[in-house]
Amino acid sequence: MIPAIGSIPSVSTQIANINPTSAAGSSAATGAAGTSFGNMLASAVDALQNVQQTSNAAATGVAAGTGSIGNAMIAASQASLDTQIAVALRNGVVSSISQIMATQF
C-alpha cells in the first residue's frame, strides 16, 4: 500500500478562499476578512510554488532510490493540476481585462 502524502495546500483551495468583494466600511482593495486581494493572490502563488517544490523533491528522492514512485507520481499530478488551474485563472483574467479595455465608453 502506498502511504498517503501529507496535507499539501493547493492553489485551488487558496483561490477558492479569495473574496474580491469588500466589507462595508473597508477599502475596495481589502476583502471581508481584512486581507488584501494582492496578499491572497501572493499566498496562492506561494502555495503553487511549494507544491512544485514538493513534487521536485519527491522526484529527486525516486531518482536517488530513497523515495516512493507512487508518492512522486501523486505529487507530480498535484503540481500539474494546480499549475493548470493557475494558468486557466490567469487566462480568464487576461481575457476579462482585454474585454474591459476594448469597451468603448
Q: For residues 4 and 63, which has the higher predicted lDDT (pLDDT)? A: 63
Residue 36: helix, strand or coil by DSSP?
Answer: strand
Task: Provide the b/e sequence for 72-102 (b: ≥16 CB within 10 Å).
Answer: bebbbebbeebeebbeebeeeeeeeeeeeee
Residue 17 has what DSSP assignment? T
Query: Which residues lie below 8 Å from residue 22, measured CB to CB, with a gap of 6+?
Result: 28, 29, 30, 31, 32
pLDDT of residue 41: 87
pLDDT of residue 22: 44
- CA 96, CA 90: separation in Å to the nearest integer? 10
pLDDT tens digits, one per residue of 21-61: 544 444 445 555 667 888 988 999 999 999 999 999 999 99
pLDDT of residue 68: 93
pLDDT tens digits, one per residue of 69-98: 999 999 999 999 999 999 999 999 999 999
